[in-house]
Copies of this chain bind each other. A is one copy, B any other.
Amino acid sequence: MPATLAAIAEFLGIELKGEQGRTLTGAAPLEKAGPEHLSFFANSKYAAELASTRAGAVVCSAADAERIPQGCVAIVSANPYLDFARTVARFFDGRPRLEEGVHPTAVVHPTAVLMPGVGVGAGAVIAAGARIGEGTRIHPLAFVGNGCVLGRDCVLHPHAVLYDGCVLGDRVVIHAGAVLGADGFGFAPVPPQGYVKVPQIGWVQVGDDVEIQANACIDRGALGPTVISRGVKIDNLVHIAHNVEIGEHTAMAAQTGIAGSTRIGRWVTFAGQSAVGGHLHIGDQAIVTGQAGVGKNLPPKAVVSGSPAQPMLEHHRGLAELNRLPELKRRVKELEAKLRAWEALSGDGGAAL
């Protein structure tokens, strides 16, 4: 919906200089924005785009406000990315929302309980004994297994899958194709005949405000729960094995994998394609860089990279040394040449000394 700069400033609790009456109708990136758009600046890589933006207003820091071109209004914020996000959510997010009510083609088991305000889309299936909290939206073709419990205002996007017994808090968002509660990978080898499957009779427990992106997999615990704590954010195609416990507000970028029974602290950051082995502990606020492979416990605030992962500075030093190896070899060769020259001069390999 359209919003005046005055309305935006009031919403953000920010004082605005001039042009209070200018009206914006949407948000766009700096390089694509026109006078009707709000944009933001929070990454110095985009300074050129800022300098030439045609946006009507830009949310930015006080320091960056002077870099904003003429005709564009600076909305000065202590946290531009956050305030931009809040503004877009409040005024400019016109994406359609699934309607309340159960679509006639949805299949809701008679023993399932739907609280007021629930929406269930076409072709979605809700199995026996499931309980769906107030305002929660189950999009088309999503599946909620037997006995699942969902809190309030959750969203299951199309094709999301919850196996039996998953427990979700409030405001949990599960994107398309994500699978919660599939069997953990537990097999007892009995060579030469094969494997005996270890029954996976646990479940998945998800805290409030968790968001899980498309096609991610969170396996159920073998006996107890796999735990995704409050505020955790899990990106596309991430794998969480059985019995893993992830602490509050930890964020995992795409294609990360966590092996079984590992416990991860709070506010840990995993960059893309990183991995952690099984039965480990990762301390609070640790950072695991892209493609790193963690094979040992990590203390709080550790920053690691490489595979096997090392403290990032050591890893970088090792890589730098590797790049300087030809230089080291040259120096050794020079030493050898000098000694050979001396040996030749001394005739008998130094014995004359």
Q: Mark A82-124, 1 if CB is under 8 A from B, else 0.
A: 1011101100111110000001010100000000000001110
Measured between alpha carbons, how far is A103 from B107 in the docked complex, in Å? 10
CB nearest to A208 among chain B residues? B194
Chain A interface residue count, CB cutoff 8 Å, equals: 129
A281 to chain B, nearest CB (A): 11
Q: Mark A1-44, 1 if CB is under 8 A from B, else 0.
A: 00000000000000000000000001111001000000100010
A257 contacts chain B at the CB level, 8 A cutoff: yes
A292 to chain B, nearest CB (A): 9
Decide if B164 touches A161 in the complex (CB within 8 Å): no
Measured between alpha carbons, how far is A179 from B96 in the docked complex, in Å? 18
Decide if A254 touches B185 in the complex (CB within 8 Å): yes
Quick one: copies of this chain in the complex?
A: 3
A258 to chain B, nearest CB (A): 9
A353 contacts chain B at the CB level, 8 A cutoff: yes
Decide if B342 touches A336 in the complex (CB within 8 Å): no
Interface residues of A in 102-150 (CB under 8 A from B): 103, 105, 107, 121-123, 125, 127-128, 140-141, 143, 145-147
Interface residues of A in 146-203 (CB under 8 A from B): 146-147, 157-159, 161, 163-165, 173, 175-177, 179, 182-183, 185-188, 190-192, 194-199, 201
Measured between alpha carbons, how far is A336 from B327 in the docked complex, in Å? 14
A277 contacts chain B at the CB level, 8 A cutoff: yes
Q: Which residues of B contact A290 (CB under 8 A)?
A: 275, 277, 293, 295, 307
